[in-house]
Structure 1
Amino acid sequence: MTRTLVIAPQWIGDAVMTEPLLRRLHARGERITVGALPWVAPVYRAMPQVAEVIEFPFAHGGLQLRARLQLAKQIRGRFEVAYVCPNSLKSALLPLLSGVPKRVGYLGESRVGLLTHRLKNPAKGQRPPMVAFYSALSGDQDIAADRPQLTLPAGEVANALHALGLTPQGYHVFAPGAEYGPAKRWPSRHFAELASQLDWPVVLLGSAKEADLCADIAAHTHRPGQIMNLAGQTSLSQALCVIAACHTMVSNDSGLMHVAAGFCVPQVAIFGSSSPLHTPPLNPRAHVIWLKTDPHYQPALTCAPCFERECPLGHTRCLNDIQATDVLSFI
């Protein structure tokens, strides 16, 4: 059995989209250890094919060479092959420093000498959907049909819901944040209006940075007693459990959107400045709302997708003009 190290991406959504790659590696007999940053590691614990998760003692940003050298010393000789998912130079350092003989990754950031098996990095406008982008590291040819699949032990989910006072499939989840910027966030007033029209309780999920956003949504609903604001109050592991057992998930294009897709829960994914052609929720139970492709929406959104953090034109029509009733029809 090949002893394999996978260097994980640093974003939750990207981590989810590496699951088909890991499933392929496992199916051909590789024992998979994933090296991941702490805020991404719980995603890999929801992948049964992962034998071990090593949480990196690295902070976001910076080379942190001393910490990498120390970890490389600890894992030296453990792995025969490494797959480096991120494109950064620093992400390829650990496999090199720990003596992994076969190191697979995309070319980028002058790391030619750090990799032994190098894939040409597609130009930004020609990059395939991210699942296919990561799956190509396996060297397999047939990679188009894969979709991420996440699984959690039933007991773990039940314990998490019990601690939060939630009933399985008895609530909706809203994830109104998007780390990238406001051009990916459906307005909070629309989330509040949607919550006011639902019969079941709504759980708001997000990071501590999104606590105020979620508080604003809760404050402007007409059913404040039926809103549970958990933004910044759960671990990612708990959030995964809440999403896995929800009735429906409503979100922007975000990491938690991909988590919901991985658990195959019914979901509505709202896109604005980004494109569902590149990072769609790969879920047969997902409904995507994107005014760019709505033939009835006028004037047409010729500006989308712009992939900007904030609307360059100052109107953010791509999100402001999506109404709560548009989303309600899919719930």
Structure 2
Amino acid sequence: MDATGARARRILVVGPSWVGDMVMAQSLFKTLKAGAPCDIDVLAPAWSLPILARMPEVRQGIVMPLGHGEFGLGKRWTLGRQLAATGYDQAIVLPGSLKSALVPLFARIPRRTGFRGEMRYGLLNDLRALDKQALPMTVQRFVALGRVAGAPLPEPFPRPALVPDAANQARLRAELGLTNRPAIAFMPGAEYGPAKQWPLAHYATLAEELVRRDFQIWILGSGKDREVGEVIAAGMGSAVLNLCGRTQLGDAVDLLAMSRAAVTNDSGLMHVAAALDIPLVALYGSSTPDHTPPLAERVVTRYLRLDCSPCFKRTCPLGHTRCLHEITPDSVVEALTQLGSLSRRIHLEAR
């Protein structure tokens, strides 16, 4: 209920399937909350629930009981009929696929909003045409769906702001044996492919310099990044902790919130770090910050804008990945200094 006793609008958001996009969706949730009293539920993959739990705007996350790419018409029908009892007033569908619009239809939600996507006529009745030039950034497209069609975006639009779990932070310090030594987080993983991954030798060179400056390095990522973390940490003992695969996504949020700064590829955890407002150095290769920049003030982006960039390929089609190799550890030290995380700059030799 709002201050007048009227029932708050109930909104179901069909969330995206990538960590970074889910973080950016918080800008939509903030936009909806600023417009009128509402309760926001998010239908999303199970992995995203810890992210949603750290967004005060979200009432609850609802698990989509299907794997990525799975059509599962029967399961979507069953879920839609279950959700019909909630009495949602509106659904906002962030993915562009046809199947993502089915649950709101089956739930008989009266207003179903989304971009045209895969020819979703009839599935969505508040169907928007996407002008990619007017809305070049993913976050702008999300926020636009929270406004009346054609309405200008709020200026400035609200940025994501995750709230860490203090109790979980205390648990992590105890269980992982973390000291009070200031930490800088590395996120070296590249789920999309090596054309988005800063060279591991560069990460290792940077780690050696930061350890000399009395920092501890926390390498964060999934179990798939375990070997990557081992390459960076090799020979540096307890000063560099490879936490890849030892933590869950919610733990990574809380660890980043405790970090002095972060250095990262263009990845989902980059957007998590931005949403925690820690000093951040973001490294771009095959992708571009023009489309998915970190949404924070304390950010330095390293992007060379070579003639061949951005290619958006998983592997470098020219075989050299100059767009990443030519971003030097020295330039990242300079960026951290610019952010106030380091006191002075020296020249580094590659490991």
Which residue of the other structure, out of 302, 314, 318, is the alignment partner of 1:289?
Answer: 302
Superposed CA offset, 1:16-55 (max 9, x none): 1111110111222110011110122221111101111112
Residue 268 of structure 2 aligns with an amino acid whose one-letter code is G
Describe the superposition over 1:103-129 as per-residue Cα deviations: whole angstroms up to 9, x where unpaired: 000001121111010110235x76521
- State the partner residue of 1:201: 216
Residue 122 (structure 1) aligned with residue 134 (structure 2): no
Q: Distance in 2 between matches of 1:39 and 1:244?
A: 19
Identity in percent: 42
**1:263 counterpart residue number:** 276
Distance across 1 between alignment mates of 2:177 and 2:94: 38
Distance 1:201 1:134 in 2: 37
Is contact 1:132–1:143 with CA below 8 Å preserved after alignment?
no
Conservation of the 8 A alpha-carbon contact between 2:181 and 2:215 = no
- Choose the corresponding residue for 2:15, options 8, 11, 24: 8
The correspondence for 2:93, drawn from 74, 84, 87, is 84
2:340 corresponds in structure 1 to none
Distance 1:205 1:258 in 2: 14
Letter in 2 for 1:7: V
1:1-331 correspondence runs (5 A): 1-27=8-34, 28-78=36-86, 79-123=88-132, 127-139=135-147, 140-146=151-157, 147-167=159-179, 170-198=182-210, 199-219=214-234, 223-292=236-305, 301-331=306-336
Partner SS state of residue 203, structure 1: strand
Distance 2:224 2:76 in 1: 29
Distance 1:114 1:180 in 2: 30
The 3-state SS of whatever aligns with 1:174 is strand
Runs of 5+ consecutive residues of structure 1 not aligned to the other structure:
293-300
1:82 is paired with a residue whose SS is strand
Q: Distance in 2 between matches of 1:153 and 1:319?
A: 34
8 A Cα contact 1:132 1:144, kept in partner:
no
1:297 aligns with none
Unaligned runs of 5+ in 2: 1-7, 337-351
Partner SS for 2:122:
helix
1:79-135 superposed Cα distances (whole Å, 9 cap, x missing partner):
111000111111111100111111000001121111010110235x76521111100
Paired with 2:205 and 2:95, the residues of 1 have a C-alpha distance of 39
Q: How many Å apart are 1:248 and its aligned residue?
A: 0.8
Is the partner of 1:113 in helix, strand or coil?
A: coil
- SS of 2:286's equivalent in the other structure is coil
Tell me, yes or no, if the aligned pair for 2:19 and 2:268 is still in contact at 8 Å: yes
Mapped contact 2:163–2:276 kept (Cα < 8 A): yes
- 1:53 partner amino acid: G
The alignment's TM-score, normalised by the length of structure 2, stands at 0.87
Aligned equivalents of 2:13, 2:181: Cα separation in 1: 34
Distance in structure 1 (CA, Å) of the matches to 2:48 and 2:167: 22
- Report the Cα distance in structure 1 between the residues aligned to 2:316 and 2:142, rounded to whole angstroms: 29
Distance 1:215 1:167 in 2: 20
Q: Runs (4+) of structure 1 moved beyond 4 Å?
A: none
> Cα deviations across residues 171-205 of structure 1 (Å, max 9, x unaligned)?
11100012111111001111011001112111111
- TM-aligned CA deviation for residue 145 of structure 1: 2.0
In the aligned structure 2, how far is the partner of 1:184 from the partner of 1:114?
36
Contact 2:15–2:95 at 8 Å: present in 1 too? yes
1:223, 1:211 → 2: CA distance? 16
* CA pair 23-127 structure 1, distance change in 2 beyond 3 A: closer
Task: Judge conservation of contact 2:168–2:251 (CA < 8 Å) in 1.
Answer: no
**Count of residues in correspondence between the two structures:** 320
Bigger CA drift: 164-173 or 281-290? Answer: 164-173
